[in-house]
Amino acid sequence: MHFVVLFILVLAVIFGPQLWARRTFAKYSVEQSNMRGTGGELASHLIDHFELADVVVEETEHGDHYDPAAKAVRLSADNFHGKSLTAVAVAAHEVGHAIQDKEGNSLLENRTKWIQFAQITDKMGSIAILVMPILTLISKSPAVAGLMITIAVGSMLVATIVHFITLPVELDASFKKALPILKEGEYIEPKDEKAVNAILKAAAYTYVAASLASILSLARWIAVLRR
């Protein structure tokens, strides 16, 4: 009985934030007629307002994000075309990252470097998993399989760490950039501030939620490695 309760608590800790973030985004994705424009239009307007001349706004199928290498604010279709609180809040959040980039924010720069490192280790981990059966068969050595699993686990660990260290960057984009912009520019009404605050919090903690979910996969591989 105690094991079941503990298991449920662990699942709640790991998947709870992710489910909460998704629910928050969905809850405030309802179209609002009083919105001045779509998320994409707001992003373009803010880019002009803050003189981010080299930054573009693009629609993407790979999740809302800011790409510092391409200088691109990328929004999902719903947020690019939507006139909802979620659309404008997420758009402002991603433009917040573009503003950080212009200011030379050291936290954003460090995150970018870590993400690039994580992309390299992720490829190494994927290759290790693919070649492990072949190398193990050729060498007939359990040590080779152990080495490949270690590389794969290491790549997952790096990805998990990267998600966690992005939190200060995300909080800054949400509450020192996006929220003041939306309030001072009167892009949202006072009655919507509480909802926008929740959306921006969800946007900031999305990476942490993903990191917690990835811990489960990491734990499985560590268990395999210990056998």
pLDDT means per 10 residues, the chain with 227 residues, are 56 65 92 90 96 95 92 96 96 96 88 79 77 76 74 75 80 94 93 95 78 61 55
Interior/surface letters 114-141, b for 16+ CB within 10 angstroms, e for the rest? bbeebeebbeebeebeeebeebbeeeee
CB–CB of 18/213 below 8 Å?
Answer: yes
Predicted structure pTM score: 0.77
pLDDT score of 10: 52
Q: Considering the candidates 94, 103, 109, 184, report the single residue annotated as catalytic.
A: 94
Query: Tokens standing for 169?
Result: 């960057």
Q: Is residue 94 flagged as an active site residue? A: yes
pLDDT score of 54: 93
Residue of 122, 115, 219, 100 lying closest to 162 (CA atoms): 115
pLDDT score of 218: 58
pLDDT score of 204: 85
